[in-house]
Structure 1
Amino acid sequence: MTNARLDELNEYPFQRLRDLLDGVEGGGPMLNFALGEPQIGVPALLGETLAKHVAGFGKYPAANSTPDLRRAIADWLDRRYGLDGDDAMNADTEIMPLNGTREGLYNIAQLVVPQVRAATRPLVLVPNPFYQCYLGAATMAGAEVGLMPATAGTGFLPDLDALDAEMLRRAALMYVCTPANPQGAMADEAYLAKAIDLARRHDIVLALDECYAEIYDETPPPGGLQVAARTGERFRNLVVFHSLSKRSSSPGLRSGFMAGDPDLVARYGKLRGYGGAPLPDPIAAASAALWRDEKHVEEVRAHYRHLFDIADETLGNKQGYFRPPGGFFLWLDVGDGEAFAKRLWQHSGVRCLPGGYLARDEADGTNPGARFLRVALVHDAGTVRQALTAISELME
């Protein structure tokens, strides 16, 4: 016997890409621009700190990790978002280190979605396109997925004013990603304030995925905590998620955190005690060192800015190109993302992800990602230039 909810899920996007391209001859050695996995190397600080704390692998870690890591995260949040005095983060009650933020983004749905909401099946609101973890989390929690279109017409963020009364009545959880994966759009403070207020008025948990918050072009994106801290209700109904995967180019470290509503943090700790995988202490020590260091992050940002400069040079005259304000993806309007991805593979050996694989069909049958191609700018400058030149040759 298996959980029938799993059958409601489509194949993961990367499996769909393999199904599309397997058996099709590539036009050169494979260049993988489908996976958002930084290829620029981990900071030296990571290995140095792990080596100093290797003996910590000899004991079980605490469910909420170490006081030192929680303090390092709290201090970083305070610095990054200008939280001080009464607004400063409480390292003991408002922060939960995670074994990769996907853990938290998935489990928050298991934590807050009830069996019944408003006398019917609960709803989880998800931007469309979306990070696939949201879909899996909602489905496996027994909820129906409520799609919030995030298109060029809405600034590539969900239009909160378009949520109707029935959706808001049924919704238990709402995911918003800023900077958005895949489009790179950044929510401003007014948008975040509206989302927080909406969540509280309708008793919805707002899960802000801010994992790309440190990868930005010019202006640092605001965060949910800094906006919520100014309200009289502080972090009620709000949790945010951050990661070292992108900020510190360390996806294999599997280290991130959730922060916000202390009641949700405490309840998450209880859930984790039964089925979670806390960070080993050496990884906690390395994570704390990375959150305390900004030099390597500035170097990471400079690297991505240079890659976007290359994108401007190679694709800037193409109608389907725009330079996103955040993240490290290009979201290219190529007319038919799936057909273009196949042609690109045959032409040059470059693998990119069709945008339709990151979205679901809306009620009218349209897929908001179908026209697009997601290109992960995660390689060195020479490799990026080679791939973008190949893309440019096929774009109109």
Structure 2
Amino acid sequence: MNPLINSLHPYPFQKLAELLEGITPNPEKPLIKLTIGEPQHDAPQVALDALSENILGVNKYPGTKGELSLRSSISNWAVKRFKLNSLDPETEILPVSGTREALFAITQTLVGGKEQPLIVSPNPFYQIYEGAGILAGAERHFLPCDSNAGYKIDYQAVSDDIWQRCEIVFVCSPNNPAGTVTTLEEYDFLLKKAEQFNFTIVADECYSEIYFDEPPLGLLEACKLLGNSSYKHCLIFQSLSKRSNLPGLRSGFVAGDASLLKPFLLYRTYQGCAMPAHHQATSIAAWNDEAHVEQNRAIYARKFESVLSILSPVLDVKKPEAGFYLWPKVDMTDEEFCTSLYQEEAVLVLPGSYLGRVVNGENPGSKHVRMALVAEEQECLEAAKRIKAFLQRRQA
């Protein structure tokens, strides 16, 4: 057995299950889960129609690279969304079966060219960054994303010794869980360091289409603005899960530096993870339609406005720049908040410390909880009212 498997940490939801073992939620109230970032809005009809009309695609083996029609629809969407001059469907785009497997696989592809390889990750973070790094044999260097800096990452605090060893820097923008967005100035700094020290910027952008004001800046968009027309050292990871409420479709794409996507395609050819033909047809329909995305954003905007009007007077919480999470700071341990709220109000949230790691004696996720506002509006409002009642009892 690969001995590195024993270095993997329990997944946050496994830790949550262990925390709640033997604890019963209030039986007088239906349980409301705000834990998993799984969109529960209706999937777009245009995608469902395409899926049913192309179901006979199961009769054929799909190609790892995906159909040109899919790559072209992705290119058209990305060029328009990020105001790009071009994005070559042949060399700069690769469809993937969701960003989760692709983020893991790209790490196995890219890590290993340097002695004592290292990946740089935000802290708290999406757990795949860490697990992929562990199994690739890379050391992890965590950068705090905490309230002290407004939940922004200070990349300039990283020493050149770290950048020298770095092979991947994971950028999650919009950030999970804090909802902050990486700026052009921050990307400019990272691009200069990537050029100097030869590492890859891997931008996880799966929340980019859930925003409230201006569309969040994307990495490829930053490349264009900064004169990096070939997207050198840069890859973006996009998904239909959040944008189009299609988490079960497992469809997304990687785009950017053609010199990185060529070996990644070779890796994936051996990995055996080609997207089924009927999923590709469904994805084309979803990427080609923007109306359902606009409707989806409007639903989230209403939910955040309503929920925050209830919670803001009793909780240290702010509207994120983008994404569908609230990341409030609490006045007790995050595990105590979670278990007490579960027992008293039958509302389940995720302890923030489960998403982070202790560095220099501190876990930047501690005394925070993550709330995913993915359920229907009335259920989210009911959860907010229960959380408010829970907090008011403690503040009385």
TM-score, structure 2 as length reference: 0.96
SS state of the match for residue 153, structure 2?
coil
Specify which of 309, 316, 332 is matched with residue 312 of structure 2. Answer: 316
Which residue in the other structure is 1:392 paired with?
A: 388
Letter in 2 for 1:14: F
Question: How far apart, CA to CA, are the structure 2 residues paired with 1:199 and 1:372?
Answer: 32
Question: How far apart, CA to CA, are the structure 2 residues paired with 1:340 and 1:152?
Answer: 18
1:329 equivalent in alignment to 2:330: no
Letter in 2 for 1:288: I
1:268 equivalent in alignment to 2:264: yes
Which residue in the other structure is 1:382 paired with?
A: 378
Specify which of 130, 154, 157 is matched with residue 135 of structure 1. Answer: 130
Which residue in the other structure is 1:193 paired with?
A: 188
Deviations 1:302-323 (A, max 9, x none): 0100110112211121351111
SS state of the match for residue 252, structure 1?
coil
1:10 equivalent in alignment to 2:9: yes
1:56-67 correspondence runs (5 A):
56-67=57-68
Structure 2 spans left out of the alignment, 5+ residues: none
Which residue in the other structure is 2:340 paired with?
A: 343
Which residue in the other structure is 1:202 paired with?
A: 197
Question: How far apart, CA to CA, are the structure 2 residues paired with 1:276 and 1:105?
Answer: 15
Letter in 2 for 1:133: I
Judge conservation of contact 2:121–2:141 (CA < 8 Å) in 1.
yes
Letter in 2 for 1:39: Q
Question: How far apart, CA to CA, are the structure 2 residues paired with 1:154 and 1:93?
Answer: 38
TM-score, structure 1 as length reference: 0.96
Matched residue count? 388
SS state of the match for residue 237, structure 2?
strand
1:181-260 correspondence runs (5 A):
181-230=176-225, 231-232=227-228, 234-260=230-256
Deviates more, 1:336-345 or 1:227-236: 227-236
Question: How far apart, CA to CA, are the structure 2 residues paired with 1:387 and 1:319?
Answer: 14
Which residue in the other structure is 1:108 paired with?
A: 106
1:357 equivalent in alignment to 2:354: yes
Deviates more, 1:314-323 or 1:14-23: 314-323
CA RMSD of aligned residues (A): 1.2
SS state of the match for residue 253, structure 1?
coil
Letter in 1 for 2:222: V
SS state of the match for residue 332, structure 1?
coil
Which residue in the other structure is 1:32 paired with?
A: 33
Judge conservation of contact 1:239–1:258 (CA < 8 Å) in 2.
yes
Letter in 2 for 1:271: Y
Which residue in the other structure is 1:69 paired with?
A: 70
Which residue in the other structure is 1:82 paired with?
A: 83
Judge conservation of contact 1:157–1:180 (CA < 8 Å) in 2.
no
Instruction: State the Cα distance separating 1:232 from its structure 2 match.
Output: 4.3
Deviates more, 1:303-312 or 1:186-195: 186-195
SS state of the match for residue 124, structure 1?
strand
Judge conservation of contact 2:169–2:201 (CA < 8 Å) in 1.
yes
Letter in 2 for 1:60: Y
1:175 equivalent in alignment to 2:173: no
Question: How far apart, CA to CA, are the structure 2 residues paired with 1:203 and 1:153?
Answer: 30
SS state of the match for residue 221, structure 1?
coil
Deviations 1:25-57 (A, max 9, x none): 101332111000111121111110011111111
Distance change in 2, residues 1:253/1:232 (3 Å): closer
Question: How far apart, CA to CA, are the structure 1 residues paired with 2:322 and 2:374?
Answer: 14
Judge conservation of contact 2:315–2:328 (CA < 8 Å) in 1.
no
Deviations 1:339-367 (A, max 9, x none): 100111001111110000000001x2110
Instruction: State the Cα distance separating 1:393 from its structure 2 match.
Output: 2.4
SS state of the match for residue 248, structure 2?
helix
Deviates more, 1:198-207 or 1:367-376: 198-207
Judge conservation of contact 1:13–1:358 (CA < 8 Å) in 2.
yes
